[in-house]
Amino acid sequence: PTKIGDYVTVKGSDRRVKLFLAVPFAQPPVGTLRLAAPRDVEPWEGERDATRQPNMCIQDPELVVSVSRTMSMSYSPPEVSEDCLYLNVYTPADAAAGAKLPVLVWIHGGGLSMGAASQYDGSPMAAYENVVIVVIQYRLGILGFLSTGDEHAQGNWGFLDQLAALRWVQGNIEAFGGDPQSVTVAGESAGGISASILTLSPLAAGLFHRAIFQSGVATLGTYTTRHPEAHAEVRSRTSLAQERQSSCQFVCAGVCMFSLSIVFKNLFSVAISTKTQVKK
């Protein structure tokens, strides 16, 4: 650098990145697809707008903002919607289709109940590490992980969403300059738990080749239960099931049939009810 008074000048570099935001990897999980495995996205005609951040999955946006402030981060959350199975792709601007660049798939954290792709900007890593970054979203809370332990709600819909995103990567990332045979999954906190679980699942075989777990592994007991039916029964005592029927079939039918506003209300009261009962 050249000394100029009390300041110095430095020579840097400027690299451009292409952003493809809100790319759908599955059909919207609404109606009969609520509490169901994700289905492949249907093709569309013409050009799709990929310049805006996707809706975030059902959660409390004010809580996300509060947590961001605690970490001295500024964040303006997008709209909240069940229609949220989208991913963002960041790729070097000069990466042509078939460039075979390494791919990093990032899974956001948030206790499996909050978080969004829009919280993470993959541009710097794509620009300076010459890789393709994919940031995915998945269903959260009861819409992503409610399980009764039987055929009525097998659960882990959020993890199935992650698998659907990885299948999309295998089928499409080459068009963005990525190498489908060099995919790393990574995540922090609940994202680390997710990445760890994916390494254990036979359903993920061949979908990725390396994994990075940050502050979370599959064996963390906080997020697992051996008694899913008991948890479902607790949920049936909330206003989501005012008739106090606790059968697995009733609980699942209620979650599938009630309006989004009622589901949203109980998405968070469920956790409080569970903790209250445990304390007693």
Helix (H) or strand (E) holding 40: none
What confidence score (pLDDT) does residue 272 get? Answer: 31
pLDDT < 50 positions in the chain = 239-246, 269-280
- pLDDT (tens digit per residue) in 143-156: 898 777 767 677 89
| DSSP structure class, residue 56 | B
Spatial separation of the C-alpha atoms in residues 52 and 20, rounded to whole Å: 9
Chain segment 106-144, per-residue pLDDT in tens: 999 999 999 999 999 999 999 999 999 999 999 998 889
Are 142 and 235 contacting, i.e. CB atoms less than 8 angstroms apart?
yes
For residue 262, what pLDDT is reported? 61
- Residue % of the chain over a pLDDT of 70: 74
Residues of the chain with CATH 3.40.50.1820: 17-221
Residues, the chain, total? Answer: 280
What is the pLDDT at residue 247? 52
Checking 12-18 for CB contacts under 8 A at 24+ apart, the result is 15/92, 15/93, 15/127, 15/128, 16/92, 16/93, 16/94, 16/127, 17/90, 17/91, 17/92, 17/93, 17/123, 17/126, 17/127, 18/90, 18/91, 18/92, 18/93, 18/95, 18/176
Structure pTM? 0.82
Show the tokens assigned to 39.
């289905």
Q: Which of 176, 34, 210 is nearest to 92 (CA)?
A: 176
Q: What is the CA radius of gyration of the chain?
A: 21
Q: Residue 228: its pLDDT value, please?
A: 62
- CATH class belonging to 17-221: alpha beta
**Contact at 8 Å (CB) between 126 and 91?**
yes
Give the span between the Cα atoms of 165 and 98, in whole angstroms. 20
